[in-house]
Amino acid sequence: QSALTQPRSVSGSPGQSVTISCTGTSSDVGGYNYVSWYQQHPGKAPKLMIYDVSKRPSGVPDRFSGSKSGNTASLTISGLQAEDEADYYCCSYAGSYTLVVFGGGTKLTVL
Amino acid sequence: QVQLQESGPGLVKPSGTLSLTCAVSGGSISSSNWWSWVRQPPGKGLEWIGEIYHSGSTNYNPSLKSRVTISVDKSKNQFSLKLSSVTAADTAVYYCAREGGGGPYYMDVWGKGTTVTVSS
């Protein structure tokens, strides 16, 4: 069982928007502004898409955005494209003992 | 830009020790970054194993701490993972990654991963 809770799957049609939630506790997501999101295509390494809750690394399309409210973080992908179909993982800093926790992952299907 | 490459045996016997190395190219391991190991069992999610700074300071996942050792070799610009007393549950793809932000806040560069199977 993962420390952060994500929906197992979400789906959307090309051009639509989807939001993936990531629920933790006040000891991780709610306690720090250090939530990150990773995209992983089958057989590939994870790729950083969002860090520090809402910042995008250079080269990541602005269709990807992140936010946080309380103990729940969210990743929104607007203008869905076929290449967005992948697994998405959230991650949070969890303090000086646990340090890093991941969500269980969400499979995004582009219909 | 910085690239990471994992290497090591793909098969480890139960109760043995898993040993992997991550070679850093295109940058220095002595930069102001921490360096980490993350693993992914087949069909499952990601699990953070631990991190190291070029000074040798380390932090580990509490659930693995008793079996994990991460070390750094600045002369070779690489860092390594040792996981002892392995079982089938340690079968996974093992990734090394660079942590951005000066701490374990996000991983911005990843290796391609290496598959390790624990089996007799």
pLDDT in tens, A62-97: 999 999 999 999 999 999 999 999 999 999 999 988
Residue B114 pLDDT: 98
What single-letter amino acid sits at B26?
G
pLDDT in tens, A23-56: 999 999 999 999 999 999 999 999 999 999 999 9
- State the pLDDT confidence band at A1, using cuts at 50, 70 and 90: low
State whether residue B43 sits within 8 Å of chain A by CB.
Answer: no
Q: Which residues of A touch B112 (CB under 8 A)?
A: 44-45
- Which backbone phi and psi does B105 adopt, to 5 degrees? -100, -30
Cα A54 to the chain's mean position, in Å?
Answer: 10
Tell me how far apart the alpha carbons of residues B18 and B70 are, in angstroms, rounded to a whole number: 12
> Least CB-CB distance to B47: which of A44, A97, A102?
A102
In this structure, what token pair is assigned to residue A103? Answer: 């969500």
Q: Cβ separation of B59 and A99 shorter than 8 Å?
A: yes
pLDDT in tens, B65-96: 999 999 999 999 999 999 999 999 999 999 99
State whether residue B106 sits within 8 Å of chain A by CB.
Answer: yes
- Which backbone phi and psi does B23 adopt, to 5 degrees? -90, 130
- Name the percent of chain B lying above pLDDT 70: 100
Residue B5 pLDDT: 98
> Least CB-CB distance to B106: which of A48, A98, A99?
A48
Q: Cβ separation of B105 and A97 shorter than 8 Å?
A: no
E strands along chain B, which residues? 3-7, 11-12, 18-25, 34-40, 47-52, 58-60, 68-73, 78-83, 92-100, 106-110, 114-118
